[in-house]
Amino acid sequence: MRASTFFSAASFITAALAQTPAPYTDASTGITVLSAAVDTVGTGSLQIGLALPPADAVGQEAEFIGRVAGTNPSGGWTGVSFGGAMTSSLLLVMWPNGDKMTTSFRFATGYVLPEVYTGNATITVLKQTVTPDNFEFIYRCQNCWQWDFNGETGSRIPAAGAQVLGWAQGTTPPSDPTDPSATFTQHAYANLFGVEVAGSRQAKYNDWISAAAPAPTAAPTSSAAPAPTATPTGSGISRVPGTPSSSAVASSSAAPVPSASACAPGSAPPNNTYDYIVVGGGAGGIPMAAKLSEAGKSVLLIERGPPSSGRWGGTMRPEWLQGTNLTRFDVPGLCNEIWADSAGIACPDASAMAGCVLGGGTAVNAALWWKANPTDFDYNFPEGWKSADMEESIGRVFEKIPWTDRPSRDGKLYLPQGYNALSGALEKAGWTSVTANDQPGEKHRTYSHTPYMYSNGERNGPMATYLVEADARDNFALWMNTTVARVTRSGSTVTGLDVEAFGQGGHCGHVNLKPGGRVILSAGVFGTSKILMRSGIGPADQLKVVAASSSDKSKMIAETEWIELPVGQNLDDHTNTDTVVRVPSSVFYDWYGAFDAPIPADKDLYLNSRTGPLTQSAPNIGPVFWEEIEGADGIKRQLQWTARVEGSAGLGNNGTMTISQYLGRGATSRGRLTITPGLTMTVSDVPYLKTDEDKAAVIQGIKNLRAALAQTPGVQLIYPSSNITVESFVENYPVTAGSRSANHWMGTAKMGTDSGLSGGSAVVDLDTKVYGTDNLFVVDASVFPGMVSTNPSALIIAVSERASERILALPAGGSSNSTLPTLPVSPIATPPTDSAPTGVFPTGALPVPTSAADPVPSGTAAPVPSAPASSTVPKVPSRSSTRRPALPRPTGKRPFWPRPGEGRPRWPAYPRGKGGRD
């Protein structure tokens, strides 16, 4: 078995170099680069420089001279991303090999070990020096600003403004320092490097490259080591020694993209048929499966990933949770760990972060739980889906999954200093305090505490409610670690599914649908779009990519049976723009450090009584506030500001708060999601700030924030600084998926009456049925016509509730009168028993503290009125047929490049962090 070695999971648009780039001239070559130093790489430093050809140079647009120099981290490696992000960008990795440096071009289509790049990029070594302690590498890089990897193309030709590159450094040597195809472990440090394009252009550029005698080295043509297999070896989690808390890394194994090879012995699915097959166990799929099974239909729910919560047999946990039935997913304070360790969790075939575990986004996010602003449905959705139509569905969701803005069981809000300071400033500026879920339509110059879907100090949500109810029924089956490759159909009628094993215990083969049965795709924007395209449903250009792919060429439905619909188009997301505020009274809490070594008093509070800071989402989110900006086009655009207690943009954590602005409902920019020849999904066209009105709303919102905070001494907007105009700040903020995504993707299977079969924009009708099919439906964020005001999890579940009603009300296609069999349950994970280890409370069975004298952790805890009480989380029924053997978690190394993340700092000019995302 090949060692599992990956790039890590921090954001690439992190706080970059604190020093201002300045010219550096190499004495021996005379080459001058615009260079900046990083003095926080372990105990040493790293210097990165860039020289560009003159602006009028012909045929040299895609090349540059680079310099990388620094300490030699125990024979480790250094990497550069020419697009800034890990995925969908050309990467250059280098490491010492004797007295020289080995270089390797790489490319990653997902969050797995990047493959060796086989395109036409070349390296010419201009100077290299390697000592036991240091290295210097000056090189010419040709065809490095544009790339083509298995049909996935990209370009970052320098233009006006700044050029942004990512860097990362690992402290462990690669598997074979002589081999450009070697594997290597995750990074220990990572960040961005940004330079001004004009200042990087050098008049002597061609003199320097002419003096270089060595021939260029092309990208290796040998194939890269394959993505590691999903052979589980245990469930332990370890962190790289010396990794700072801001980029903490755990070691584990990411699941590979399933192979198209023959199925393994024993992986064939049971020979059953079903009334309904629901694909995807997340915010859309779990409620849908529960409602269908509640109606008496035989239902199979297929989840691609492994179990997450301990309730369902999940095993991913830090050492201090060993002996409990809790995993990292169950503890609110560990929610941000997804951005430090996503191996075995993130979908490996998506260019953005997507959760491939049971629960999907609702298992890994910060659990923000908003009742829909009525305008979200009235503005975005067609008739039959307006706010009045959705009222009962929303009510059922919140009855089943109550909200709380005081998740600690003692009713206290911990570390409230940041909230108090910012909310006080907003109040002074005339903004109004609201209880957001009591007044969901009040979204203009209002602020609120953050409501969550936590209960009893633990993650609640659809896994702890809808799924528990469904699992108690004999007409419900759940498979995990199983990927749906495609739906099989005869013309317009879906007859079954092809499945592939994604992990241990997963099924591989074909699953039949009952005559008259239905399939519902709820695999999220990336997963659902991929399944549709592999099923011959989508734009013709994308279906041709699938038909020509090596894995699907022989399996693709005939072109005469293609259903051409705009799948992947209308891609939407909240446009994120980060700002930073100086709030001296705010108190930073080391949430990342709490994964391995929580404050003992806080750990005890959590384990013994589910109280304290660890019952709250990292990184101490709030206040959240809103404003509407009316554009010149007459559209009111919704802004949501989410504050969190940590720094970004190169500014430290002490006394700073990052406030992320989300441009949501009313935005008119859209993008596109496409499939590559390797059958990975990529955001080929970002949906951010394409219209003047969208950009104007972002600018005006920041101006209004600056004006509001200026009225309170001691609360100061420091990023952008006062000497920078907001217009300049926004103009120079990169418009990329890595820098602007809130990871609230939606819209790629748009609901509407204008069928895409006739040139319209809709993929599904008002019953969520895919146009041109008889029995295929989509129920997840893909169907949302446009962006909403808030984090969308609760809205997706409400849409699933409503869709279940409409689907069940459709004329029977043979399923409503069918005999309901007792379905065997496929082996998956063992739910926890009702008993708990000594001294540790089981999930959802904790005593409520009875005294205000109960101990509190370090930091100030402000007693506050409690929110509506959350119900006790029900346990998995003890029905013996639902007892499932636990699945071990794959282990190994993690990806090295940082990725977009909640609470991850970003570089000085263009920061980003996603505290409280979802």
Of 173, 201, 218, the last residue of a domain is 218
| 93 domain-assigned | yes
Query: Please, which residues bridge with residue 147 across strands?
Result: 154
- Domain containing 319: what range? 274-367+462-567+747-808
Catalytic residue among 187, 507, 574, 744: 744
**Mean pLDDT throughout 672-678?**
95
| CATH number where 467 lies | 3.50.50.60
Looking at residue 44, what is its pLDDT? 63
Tell me, yes or no, whether 206 and 113 share the same domain.
Answer: yes
**Mean pLDDT throughout 672-696?**
96
List, for residues 475-533, the tens digit of each pLDDT value.
999 999 999 999 999 999 999 999 999 999 999 999 999 999 999 999 999 999 999 99
pLDDT at 916 over 90: no
Most confident of 58-72, 78-92, 788-802, 899-913: 788-802
When computed from its CA atoms, the radius of gyration of the chain, rounded to whole angstroms, is 26
| 523 domain-assigned | yes
Residue 192: pLDDT band with limits 50, 70, 90: confident
List, for residues 741-768, the tens digit of each pLDDT value.
999 999 999 999 999 999 999 999 999 9
Residue 73: pLDDT band with limits 50, 70, 90: low
Tell me, yes or no, whether 752 and 719 share the same domain.
Answer: no
Query: Please, which residues bridge with residue 78 across strands?
Result: 94, 169
Tell me, yes or no, whether 445 and 466 share the same domain.
Answer: no
| CATH number where 610 lies | 3.30.410.10
pLDDT at 837 over 70: no
Q: Which two tokens stand for residue 337?
A: 């760990």
Tell me, yes or no, whether 441 and 478 share the same domain.
Answer: no
Looking at residue 789, what is its pLDDT? 99
Tell me, yes or no, whether 681 and 754 share the same domain.
Answer: no
Most confident of 8-22, 93-107, 205-219, 233-247: 93-107
Who wins on pLDDT, 245 or 598?
Answer: 598
Cis peptide before 440 (omega within 30 of 0): no
User: Is 744 marked active-site?
Assistant: yes
Q: How far is CA 177 from CA 102, 173, 225, 389, 693, in A?
A: 7, 7, 15, 63, 52
pLDDT at 556 over 50: yes
**Residues above pLDDT 70, as percent of the chain:** 80
Tell me, yes or no, whether 554 and 475 share the same domain.
Answer: yes
Looking at residue 901, what is its pLDDT? 32
pLDDT at 112 over 50: yes
Tell me, yes or no, whether 555 and 469 share the same domain.
Answer: yes
Who wins on pLDDT, 223 or 443?
Answer: 443
How many domains, in total, are found in the chain? 3
Tell me, yes or no, whether 633 and 781 share the same domain.
Answer: no
Looking at residue 164, what is its pLDDT? 83
Lowest-pLDDT range of 188-192, 474-478, 575-579: 188-192
| CATH number where 196 lies | 2.60.40.1210
pLDDT at 70 over 70: yes
| 815 domain-assigned | no
Q: Report the alpha-carbon angle 868-869-871, nearest 5.
A: 135
| 856 domain-assigned | no
Tell me the three-class secondary structure of 477-532, residue by residue.
EEECCEEEEEEEEECCEEEEEEEEECCCCCCCEEEEEEEEEEEEECCHHHHHHHHH
Using the Cα atoms of residue 282, residue 285, residue 287 and residue 290 in order, give the sign of their dihedral. negative
Lowest-pLDDT range of 501-505, 722-726, 734-738: 734-738
Chain position carrying tokens 């193309």: 153
Query: Are the C-beta atoms of 450 and 621 separated by less than 8 Å?
Result: yes
Who wins on pLDDT, 915 or 392?
Answer: 392
Looking at residue 569, what is its pLDDT? 99
Query: Are the C-beta atoms of 914 and 575 separated by less than 8 Å?
Result: no
**Mean pLDDT throughout 533-557?**
97
**Mean pLDDT throughout 63-68?**
96
Q: Which two tokens stand for residue 597?
A: 């070594």
| 242 domain-assigned | no
Query: Are the C-beta atoms of 226 and 866 separated by less than 8 Å?
Result: no
Q: How far apart are CA 431 and CA 426, in angstroms?
A: 5
pTM of the model: 0.80
Of 761, 781, 808, the last residue of a domain is 808
List, for residues 194-219, the tens digit of each pLDDT value.
788 999 999 999 999 998 755 556 55
Tell me, yes or no, whether 583 and 441 share the same domain.
Answer: yes
pLDDT at 434 over 90: yes
Tell me, yes or no, whether 580 and 514 share the same domain.
Answer: no
List, for residues 869-890, the tens digit of each pLDDT value.
333 333 333 332 333 333 333 3
| 577 domain-assigned | yes
Looking at residue 216, what is its pLDDT? 59
Q: Report the alpha-carbon angle 502-247-643, nearest 5.
A: 100
Q: Report the alpha-carbon angle 501-503-509, nearest 5.
A: 10
**Mean pLDDT throughout 31-52?**
81
Q: Which two tokens stand for residue 291?
A: 């409602």
Query: Are the C-beta atoms of 170 and 185 separated by less than 8 Å?
Result: yes
Tell me, yes or no, whether 562 and 580 share the same domain.
Answer: no
pLDDT at 918 over 70: no
Burial class (CB in 10 A: 0-12, 13-18, 19+), 709: buried
List, for residues 225-238, the tens digit of each pLDDT value.
333 333 332 222 22
pLDDT at 9 over 70: no
pLDDT at 172 over 90: no
Tell me the three-class secondary structure of 172-219, residue by residue.
CCCCCCCCCCCCCCCCCEEEEEEEEHHHHECCCHHHHHHCCCCCCEEC
Q: How far apart are CA 33 and CA 26, in angstroms?
A: 8
Looking at residue 895, what is its pLDDT? 32
**Mean pLDDT throughout 848-857?**
34
Residue 834: pLDDT band with limits 50, 70, 90: very low
Who wins on pLDDT, 419 or 821?
Answer: 419
Tell me, yes or no, whether 595 and 675 share the same domain.
Answer: yes
pLDDT at 823 over 80: no
| 905 domain-assigned | no
Count of residues making up the chain: 918
Who wins on pLDDT, 294 or 841?
Answer: 294
pLDDT at 537 over 70: yes
Q: What is the mean pLDDT of the chain?
A: 83
Of 740, 768, 785, the last residue of a domain is 740
Q: How far apart are CA 538 and CA 878, in angstroms?
A: 44
| 820 domain-assigned | no
